[in-house]
Structure formats: C-alpha cells, structure tokens
A and B are shown apart, each in its own frame.
Chain A
C-alpha cells in the first residue's frame, strides 16, 4: 500500500541547533516533494518544493534533500529559533493525479 511516513514523535532541540526531519514514502514515484509548515489551528503554509532530478534545495535557513533511491526526503532547519516551533508536513503528488497527499507531520519544538 502507499504510505508517506514522518516521525510521529515530537522533535525537541535547543535553539541554535540544526533540526532534521525525515519523510519516507512507499509505493509512490513522485515527480516532486513539498514541505509545509502548520501552526496549531491554522492552515498549512508552503515552504519548499524539490523535484526528482534535484538532490538539494535551499531557502534561507531551510534545506531539503530528496533521494529517490531511498525514497526519502530530509528537511533541515539550521540555526533553529523558538519561532520555528510548528508541525512540518511533507507532501507529494500521488502519480498522475490531481491530489497532493500529506504525511502525518512531525512536531518540532525549539527550546530557548
């Protein structure tokens, strides 16, 4: 069956450290993968998109990698800040469809 899996346990890190979140998928062949941020009670907000032919993408303190062999994407936040505390969702398009499928999300808590 098709799955998108993210660490269900919250990730707690100290301010200033690098946070690394993982997204693994099974039985998909996505052309790209997206990462979103979701704050409590609010809608997801787009952060980054990485295509299958891109190994790495950066935007300010954010970095995403995409390994289609491992079927995994890693999302890094460098020099993390308490304001980065949120749930981070990975999402991919399920084949030649018109739907974006989301993972369960990982809650990041950055301690001051």
Chain B
C-alpha cells in the first residue's frame, strides 16, 4: 500500500542550527502539507503546497520556515535558526485531490529535539 515516508525519524540539533526535514509523498498525490505536534498538544497546520507553490500557511509558518519540492518526489521543510520551542513532531501529509474531496495521508513523523 502506498505510504508517505519521512526522514529522519528523529533529529537532535543545537539551538540556532538549520534543520531540513524530508518527505516523500504518495506518488500520484498533488497536494502536500506540513503539520506539527508539540508533545501533548494538538496537531497544528503549518503549510499547504500545490503546483510548486505555497497555497496557504499558518501564523506559525513565519520567515524561519520554508518548503520546497526540489524534484518530482521529495517535499522538504527547512527550519532556519532553530529555537527551543521548535521541538515537536513534524508530520508531512499528502492528498490526491486536495481538501475538496479527500482525506490526508500522513507520514510517521520526524521528531525534532532542539537543545
């Protein structure tokens, strides 16, 4: 069964460092998303991406964050100059037809720990 894959599963970094989280969405999906979940809190929307551009972003997704689809398969989230409060689980998701009709397929997440 097709699945969304994310790497790394866990990354530990020092405050102020840059981090890149990688995702391979399901191959025929066209809509991509990043969510984050701080430990014990709810799943929060960060950004949606379609047709090689951001379609929507939350207030959390400030200039510290960026997304890219560098080739036909990968979808990345870059966090510049990480802060302690960026420690969270980051989930990538994809959907075939966007939110008009479909559910989201989530990866297993990348746990980011900022020290």
**Do chains A and B interact in one complex?**
yes
Check A10 for interface membership: any CB of B closer than 8 A.
no
Question: For residue A103, which residue of chain B has the nearest CB?
Answer: B42
**Other-chain residue from B31, B42, B104, B106 in contact with A104 (beta carbon distance below 8 A):** B42
A interface bracket (residues with beta carbon within 8 Å of B):
20 to 34
Min CB–CB distance B49 → chain A (angstroms): 9
Count A-B contacts at CB 8 Å. Answer: 56
**Other-chain residue from B41, B48, B89, B107 in contact with A98 (beta carbon distance below 8 A):** B48
Number of B interface residues at 8 Å Cβ cutoff, please give it. 27
Whether A99 contacts B48 by the Cβ 8 Å rule is: yes
Distance A101 CA – B31 CA, assembled complex (angstroms): 16
Question: For residue A101, which residue of chain B has the nearest CB?
Answer: B45
Whether B103 contacts A46 by the Cβ 8 Å rule is: yes
Show the binding face of A for B, using Cβ within 8 Å: 34, 38, 41-46, 49, 89, 93, 97-105
* A-B CB contact pairs (8 Å), 9 listed: A34-B103, A46-B104, A89-B42, A97-B99, A98-B31, A98-B48, A99-B56, A104-B41, A105-B43
